[in-house]
Amino acid sequence: MCQLFNCLCIHIITNKTTSSLLTALMAKFGLSPFLVLLMLLSGGAVRGQDRSGREMVPAMFIFGDSLIDNGNNNNLPSFAKANYFPYGIDFNGGPTGRFSNGYTIVDEIAELLGLPLIPAYSEASGNQMLHGVNYASAAAGILDVTGRNFVGRIPFDQQLRNFENTLNQISGNIGAVNMAAALAQCIFFVGMGSNDYLNNYLMPNYPTRNQYNGQQYADLLVQTYNQQLTRLYNLGARKFVIAGLGLMGCIPSILAQSMSGSCSEEVNLLVQPFNENVKNMLSNFNSNLPGARFIFADTARMFQEILLNARSYGHYSHDKSLAITPSKLTYNDAHKSNNNLKHKQEEDAEEKEEDANADEEDAKEEEEEEQDAEEEDTEEEEEDTDAEK
């Protein structure tokens, strides 16, 4: 995963001075854009801890979907789970609920910031929450209805309510004033929106595609997103990393639908208005929300670089989700929980087939028993006839 940071393209929504600083730091020190991003947000050293040995930021709070879920769906009645092998094959201790062979991108960010692995909300308690909490949930979306085909999931609105619960617990220990000061120094990582396309707009059992064209749907999503991020700001968040949508037309589940095996330009173009709307929204936030620092992580550019130069980043396949050596793959999870649902559907189909086969065998056995009974009756009748003679 660390190799991804070398090509992570960050679009910073801020003034020309900061953009010039980004370019200067990258050129002078050979830093990746992502490390410079962390410096700009934290005001600290490049990696880990500052000179006094403290973490660069006090905590990180994470909101999102399966790309950064670390176990919140494990105990939900959901098809969107990853707490079994081969997930976690490179993670110490095995599967945790991460949709990855090992660390997720937010795990790497935590390590870069000198923080421990951020606990899942479903498991966090007491002092564990002082370094942050991960609220992300596989199949979750900006819209509450998104991902309902997977049954259990935690939409962004519910993730925000869970964050409020965390604040109530923390403030009881450190006080409201101290908490407000600490929150202003924390990193808030938000990566939402992909399921609103993959498990809503592009799903045949959802009405949204008939109700909105691409631009209208992007407007709806970002209008809702605006309200949610404003709510997070009002709760005390100040330093934000907002991940854009990647090249979703190139993920395995979409490639599998292509006869040629090539990316879907239609899907890639569909999500572009969302990214553009988000950039405009963040620019507006930076201008109008006092003390706010919003940075847009251009995931699409990052993955475009990886797909075009896969081997230079140690990847030998970008269109497969699992292999003997998953570290050589761009996608370790075939994106999201579509595989889980597919596995469940396949299991159900197998069970139905087994039941049908069992019923067929039972019917044959009954038929054979009936035939045997008829033969016995015939034999008895013949014996009776012979006896009468």
Model confidence pLDDT, tens digit, residues 17-46: 444 444 544 444 444 555 555 555 655 444
Residues 93-107, mean pLDDT to the nearest whole number: 94
pLDDT for residue 346 is more than 80: no
The pLDDT value recorded for residue 303 is 78
pLDDT at 336 over 70: no
Average pLDDT estimate for 301-314 = 78
In this prediction, residue 258 has a pLDDT band, given cuts at 50, 70 and 90, of: confident
- Asked if residues 11 and 320 have their Cβ atoms less than 8 Å apart, the reply is no
CA distance 292 to 58: 17
The predicted structure's pLDDT at residue 260: 86
Percentage, residues of the chain above pLDDT 90: 52
- Predicted local confidence at residue 366, as pLDDT: 73
Evaluate whether 82 touches 99 at the Cβ level (below 8 Å).
Answer: yes
**Can you say whether the dihedral through the CA atoms of 135, 141, 143, 145 is positive or negative?**
negative
Please enumerate in sequence order all residues whose Cβ is within 8 A of that of 109, keeping only pairs 6 or more positions apart, or say none: 38, 60, 187, 189
Helix (H) or strand (E) holding 187: strand 187-191
Is the pLDDT at 351 greater than 80, yes or no? no
Write down the pLDDT at residue 388. 56
Residues near 199 by beta carbon (within 8 Å), at least 6 away in sequence: 139, 141, 146, 147, 149, 150, 336
Residue 175 zone, left/alpha/beta (φ > 0; ψ -120 to 50; rest): left
> Is the per-residue pLDDT at 187 higher than 60?
yes
Task: Let me know: does 320 contact 252? Beta carbons within 8 Å.
Answer: yes
Cβ burial of 8 (10 Å; 0-12, 13-18, 19+) is: buried
pLDDT computed for residue 35 by the predictor = 55
Residue appearing with tokens 């919140």: 72
Mean pLDDT along residues 319-342: 45
| pLDDT for residue 94 is more than 80 | yes
pLDDT of residue 369: 72
Give the containing element (helix H, strand E) for 3: helix 2-5
- Looking at domain 2-335, its CATH architecture is 3-Layer(aba) Sandwich (3.40)
> CB-based burial of residue 350 (10 Å sphere; 0-12 exposed, 13-18 middle, 19+ buried)?
exposed
pLDDT band at 387 (very low <50, low <70, confident <90, very high): low
The pLDDT confidence band at residue 231, using thresholds 50, 70 and 90, is: very high
Range with the poorest average pLDDT among 30-39, 180-189, 233-242, 319-328: 319-328
Quick one: pLDDT at residue 188?
Answer: 97
For residues 252-271, average pLDDT: 90
Q: In what order do the strands lie in the sheet with 10-11?
A: 10-11, 293-297, 239-243, 187-191, 60-64
pLDDT > 70 in the chain, percent:
70
Q: What is the DSSP string of 73-110?
A: TTTSSBS----STTTTTTSTTS--SBSSSS--HHHHHH
**Cβ contacts of 255 within 8 Å, gap of 6 or more:** 261, 262, 263, 264, 319
pLDDT score recorded for residue 371: 73
Domain ranges for the chain: 2-335, 337-389
Position 275 scores a pLDDT of 98
Distance CA 297, CA 378 (A): 84
Question: Which pLDDT tens digit goes with each residue over 148-168?
Answer: 999 999 999 999 999 999 999
pLDDT for 122: 96
Which one is predicted more confidently, 13 or 228? 228
| Most confident by average pLDDT, 23-27, 90-94, 336-340, 381-385 | 90-94
Mean pLDDT to the nearest integer, 81-110? 93
Length of the chain: 389
- Cα–Cα distances in Å, from 372 out to 4, 43, 367? 71, 88, 9
- Average model confidence (pLDDT) across the chain: 80
Tokens of 250: 């190139």
Q: Token pair for residue 226?
A: 């605006």
Could you tell me the pLDDT band of residue 75, with boundaries at 50, 70 and 90?
A: very high
DSSP secondary structure letter of residue 195: H
